[in-house]
Amino acid sequence: MSAPSTSEPTALVHLPAELRARTREQASIAVAGADVRAIIVALDRTFPGLRFNLCAETGELRPFVNIFVDGRNIRLASALDTPVAAGSVIHIIHSVAGG
Amino acid sequence: MASQGTRAPRSGETVVLLGTKRGLFMLRSHDRVEWECVPAGLESTHVYNATLDQRGGRQRIFAADNGDFFGTFLRYSDDFGQTWQEPERGIQFPEESGLSLNNIWTIEPGRRSEPDVVYVGVDPASLWVSEDAGVTWSLNAGLAQHPTREQWNPGAGGLCLHTIVPDYAHPERMWVGISAVGCLRTDDNGQSWQFMNKNTRAGFMPDPYPEFGQCLHRMTQSPTQPNVLYQQNHCGVYKSEDGGENWIDIQRDLPSEFGFPIALDPGHPDTVFVIVEEPMGRFNVGENFTVYRTQDGGESWQPLTNGLPHGPGVRLGVLRHGMATDSHESCGVYVGANTGQLFASTDAGENWRVIADYLPPIYSVSVAVIE
């Protein structure tokens, strides 16, 4: 895995097992983007269709998808506009539902 | 996405596809006596509906993959569930519509005369059309922009378009069923849609006979008389003899007006099957799980129980896509329960047996004879 060549900050994104079919079995990937929205757009370029896994057509994050930037849930920050710093670690997980 | 499927079914075999709460299953049999049941993929998702399309030289399974967390997708497989593909342009609302896909409810291959056309109905209520065998999809604008749309209300399962009946006799005509809106018909290939709910009751509404707002649960068309339709409604069982313009109450002595599925014997289309339930608990009325059959187009009903479970603890529910019939001369009837059993009859409902058990709750049943 190598960081993309870009002037934007690059974050390390950890992906859940449920999306590995989409991500060609990659569990994590370095992605450049100034905020979470840009990170998702970049992920979708690499793995077409991934944006629709994470966001509804309206652009909103799906209700049972949680994204943490450096340990903080973006719903408690600026949602998809939450900024990403160089070296940030992003976790994409789904809600613990049903238990 | 790979699955653990085994060999493909052979010509002449009967194939039953089961959409369940956890994945797709396939049963196959050369004689409808010995059945083999195998998982067919999509094991972690809610498969509301699946169908085998054998037109145009294909053997393509379409399935509704309604996931828990990461979205809803139509998928298709050309190897009986061993691998699955996504459309190149899938079912996604335009961003400016303000709508987002909740669940895919039904997948309906088009007419024999249009072998590459496939229809899909979803929640929020809308009709999607593919003209290239499922590779790309477009939203039907006529229904999406229906002038009454803002007044449509969902049923318990959402505002779902769950039934699509393309008229085999008139290529520009189609009926759809939406909960809780009712029946709509187009006569201009989907450009405009008219309500077809006359005389169907909406007992839960202040006006029990509104123009729309009925909770149609499932609808089917006679294969020999194109203007004859049957529907199981939240409030009764109905028949139309004029293409949906008027509906006739054929509930008669059925023990409940509430039920979900309806299916007919394609070789004897006056023979229709329903499964009515307790409306609150949504399971069999009384202690006998019962399929009801008419053989005279709804003039009378017979309870069919031979081989079906009975007892004080028997509480089985069957969802709207949970019953299907095959095309054999001695009609096969297949009923999937929300308790994970698949019941089958090979004599138009006279006798039943369990041909699959311990499955997840069954959402849908479809049947095909391999060409």
Q: Which two tokens stand for residue B166?
A: 């393309």
HEC string for B24-58: EEEEEECCCCCCEEEECCCCCCEEEEEEEECHHHC
Confidence of residue B206 (pLDDT cuts 50, 70, 90): very high
**DSSP assignment letter at B180:** T
| Size of the A and B interface in Cβ pairs below 8 Å | 44
Distance CA B306, CA B289 (A): 10
Please answer yes or no on whether B100 and A54 come within 8 Å at the CB atom: no
**Which residues have CB under 8 Å from A73's CB, separation 6+?**
A66, A67
Q: Minimal CA–CA distance to B234: which of B288, B272, B197?
A: B197
Distance CA B328, CA B260 (A): 24
- Using DSSP's 3-state secondary structure scheme, residue B260 falls into strand
What's at A8, amino acid-wise? E
pTM of the entire predicted model = 0.95
| Averaged pLDDT score across all residues of chain B | 96
- Using DSSP's 3-state secondary structure scheme, residue B84 falls into coil
Confidence of residue B2 (pLDDT cuts 50, 70, 90): very low
On chain A, the residues whose CB falls within 8 A of the CB of B70 are 18-19, 53-54, 62, 65, 94
Closest chain A C-alpha to B275 CA, distance in angstroms = 30
Cβ of A21 under 8 Å from any chain B Cβ? yes
A1 pLDDT above the threshold of 50: no
Residue B219 pLDDT: 98
Residue ranges of the alpha helices (H) in chain B?
A: 141-144
Residue A2 pLDDT: 45
Q: What is the mean pLDDT of residues B245-256?
A: 98
B111-129 b/e (C-beta count within 10 Å ≥ 16 → b):
eeeebbbbbbbbbbbbbbb
**DSSP assignment letter at B150:** G
Q: Minimal CA–CA distance to B119: which of B66, B179, B53?
A: B53
B1 pLDDT above the threshold of 90: no
A96 pLDDT above the threshold of 90: no
- Using DSSP's 3-state secondary structure scheme, residue A37 falls into helix
- φ, ψ of residue B315 in degrees (nearest 5): -140, 90
- B72 bridge partner residues: B66
Please answer yes or no on whether A57 and B90 come within 8 Å at the CB atom: no
Q: Minimal CA–CA distance to B127: which of B157, B152, B105?
A: B105
Q: Residue B180: is the preceding peptide bond cis (ω within 30°)? A: yes
Residue B7 pLDDT: 79
Considering only the beta carbons, identify the residue of B70, B93, B97 that sits closest to A18. B70
Closest chain A C-alpha to B280 CA, distance in angstroms = 24
Closest chain A C-alpha to B69 CA, distance in angstroms = 5
Residue A97 pLDDT: 60
- Using DSSP's 3-state secondary structure scheme, residue A41 falls into helix
E strand or H helix at B292, and its extent? strand B291-294
Distance CA B363, CA A69 (A): 38
Q: What is the ipTM of this complex?
A: 0.89
Closest chain B C-alpha to A70 CA, distance in angstroms = 22
Between the CA of residue B295 and those of B21, B248, B275, B324, B326, what are the distances in Å? 33, 16, 15, 17, 17
Distance CA B229, CA B216 (A): 13
Q: Which two tokens stand for residue B355?
A: 């041909």
B6 pLDDT above the threshold of 90: no
E strand or H helix at A53, and its extent? helix A50-54
Q: Minimal CA–CA distance to B28: which of B361, B338, B332, B352?
A: B332
Considering only the beta carbons, identify the residue of A49, A57, A59 that sits closest to B101. A57
pLDDT digits (tens, 9 = 90+) for B78-110: 999 999 999 999 999 998 889 999 999 999 999
* Dihedral angle over CA of B327, B263, B242, B226, nearest 10: -20
pLDDT digits (tens, 9 = 90+) for B115-127: 999 999 999 999 9
Residue B51 pLDDT: 98
- Find where tokens 């079906």 sit: B308
pLDDT digits (tens, 9 = 90+) for B44-79: 899 999 999 999 999 999 999 999 899 999 999 999
Q: Which CATH architecture best describes the domain A10-94?
A: Roll (3.10)
On chain B, the residues whose CB falls within 8 A of the CB of A21 are 1
Please give the share of chain A, as a percent, with pLDDT higher than 70.
Answer: 91
Q: What is the mean pLDDT of residues A55-66?
A: 95
A4 pLDDT above the threshold of 80: no
Please give the share of chain B, as a percent, with pLDDT higher than 70.
Answer: 98
On chain A, the residues whose CB falls within 8 A of the CB of B67 are 18
Residue A7 pLDDT: 82
Q: Minimal CA–CA distance to B258: which of B284, B289, B239, B240?
A: B284
Distance CA A42, CA A51 (A): 9
On chain B, the residues whose CB falls within 8 A of the CB of A19 are 70
- Using DSSP's 3-state secondary structure scheme, residue A65 falls into strand
A63-78 b/e (C-beta count within 10 Å ≥ 16 → b):
eebbbbbeeeebeebe
pLDDT digits (tens, 9 = 90+) for A64-90: 999 999 999 999 999 999 999 999 999
Closest chain A C-alpha to B139 CA, distance in angstroms = 14
On chain A, the residues whose CB falls within 8 A of the CB of B101 are 56-57
Please give the share of chain B, as a percent, with pLDDT higher than 90.
Answer: 95
A99 pLDDT above the threshold of 80: no
